[in-house]
Amino acid sequence: MSTSARSQRSILPGFGLSLGFTLAYLGLIVLIPLSAAFIKTAGMSWADFVQAVASPRVLASYRLSFGASFAAGFINMVFGLIVAWVLVRYSFPGKKIVDALVDLPFALPTAVAGIALTAIYARNGLLGGLEPVWGGAVGWLDRYVPGIAWKEWLGVKIAFDRPGIFIALTFIGLPFVVRTLQPVLEELEPELEEASATLGASRWQTMRRVILPELFPAMITGFTLAFARALGEYGSVVFIAGNQPMHSEITPLLIITKLEQYDYKGATAIAVVLLIASFVLLLLINLLQKWSRRYHRI
């Protein structure tokens, strides 16, 4: 971007009009409605607020939402790295189609993804046969590795239980890591790898000591983006989750449940907690991107 000679008055017209419209539209559509959530919550007493955001059922939903989003983000980070690597470095027939397909979770409506995943993983679905396998594995853990409530943590079914939530959240977060890593991989200088190879490093050492550290900021950024998206996700999860209070009820669903019971204050208080978590993540993502940019200038 050219920074030259724009400190003096621009000769281009339309600054006042475009900025005025931008601010008015931003205020009306985004800022005023968003502030309504905070104003509504500010009207609550502290005791009511704590009651609303820290009751056992709500705490259970935070644990589930944060835990499942973290797990889905992590799986996406690992497999996203492999997918991005394969798409940038290797060539195979149909690569362009595969590359385009990665964006499917952005383009496919979440409700459609939700019912499709449910149809696949339900007991009579295409992969319904996985359910007894999963149930057996969790049962085995429960029996031989005591001390952890495995059945509670991992669920005993796939659809209509916790694994289903994890699958749906993995689906919707899939593009983030791939799309953050691809440009970084493309710009990775081959000289670095060549130097490493010339100095006698094995391919694995080059990968671990040279390439992965370069990719690390982008991997974390992608993970955080996928995590943030998963935290608020609703459409793809409700169909497959089973939605049992205290066990498979995600936080966004709890907000809807409270709304349907006309508990507007309770719903808004939980929403504010979720909003603050999202804003912290947004801040983190901005810092991460600054970090990775600085990292790449060196």
Partner 1 sequence: MSAAISHLKSSSATSTTSRATQDATWVRWTLTSVALLFLAFFLVLPLAAVFTEALRKGFGPFFGAFRDSDAIASIRLTLLTAAIAVPANVLFGVAAAWCIAKFNFSGKSILTTLIDLPFAVSPVISGLIYVLVFGLQGWLGQYQNAENPWFPWLQQWLVEQDFKIIFAVPGIVLATTFVTFPFVARELIPLMQSQGTDEEYAAVTLGANGWQTFWRVTVPNIKWGLFYGVILCNARAMGEFGAVSVVSGHIRGETNTMPLHVEILYNEYNFSAAFAVASLLAMLAIVTLVLKSFIEWRHAQSRLI
Q: Which residue in the set 48, 55, 66, 119 belongs to the binding site for partner 1 (CB under 8 A)?
A: 119
Residue 98: closest CA among 115, 86, 110: 86
Instruction: Determine contact, residues 196/253, Cβ cutoff 8 Å.
Output: no
CA distance linking residue 206 with residue 282, whole number of Å:
33
Dihedral, CA of residue 125, residue 118, residue 243 and residue 259, to nearest 10: -150
CB of 142 to partner 1, least distance (A): 26
Position among 62, 156, 163, 180 found at the interface with partner 1 (CB under 8 A): 180
Tell me: does residue 133 bind partner 1 (CB under 8 A).
no
Q: Of 99 and 142, which CB lies nearer to partner 1 in the complex structure?
A: 99
- Answer yes or no whether residue 259 interacts with partner 1 by CB under 8 A: yes
Which of these segments, 42-50, 51-59, 156-164, 185-193, binds partner 1 (CB under 8 A)? Answer: 185-193
Q: According to CB under 8 A, which residues from 186 to 225 bind partner 1?
A: 186-187, 190, 193-194, 197-198, 203, 206, 221-222, 225
Q: Name the minimum Å distance from CB 266 to partner 1.
A: 11
Residue 44 CA: distances (Å) to CA of 89, 235, 270: 55, 29, 12
Give rounded-to-5 percent helix, strand, coil for the chain. Answer: 75, 0, 25
Nearer to partner 1 by C-beta: 45 or 91? Answer: 91
240 lies in the binding site for partner 1 (CB under 8 A): no
User: What gap in Å lies between CA 251 and CA 240, rounded to an integer?
Assistant: 15
Q: Decide if residue 261 touches partner 1 (CB under 8 A).
A: no
Strand stretches in the chain, DSSP E: none
Question: Pick from 42, 98, 148, 246: which binds partner 1 (CB under 8 A)?
Answer: 98
Q: How far apart, in whole angstroms, are the C-alpha atoms of residue 255 and residue 5?
A: 51
Query: 62 vs 171, which CB is nearer to partner 1?
Result: 171
User: From CA 93, how far away is CA 130, in angstroms rounded?
Assistant: 31
Judged by CB under 8 A, the residue of 73, 175, 217, 266 near partner 1 is 175
CB of 148 to partner 1, least distance (A): 27
Q: Which of residues 143-172 bind partner 1 (CB under 8 A)?
A: 167, 170-171
Instruction: Please say whether the beta carbons of 110 and 172 come within 8 A.
Output: yes
In angstroms, how far is the first alpha carbon of the chain from the final one?
A: 21
**The one among 60, 71, 141, 281 contacting partner 1 by CB under 8 A:** 281
| Nearest residue (CB) to partner 1, 156 versus 196 | 196
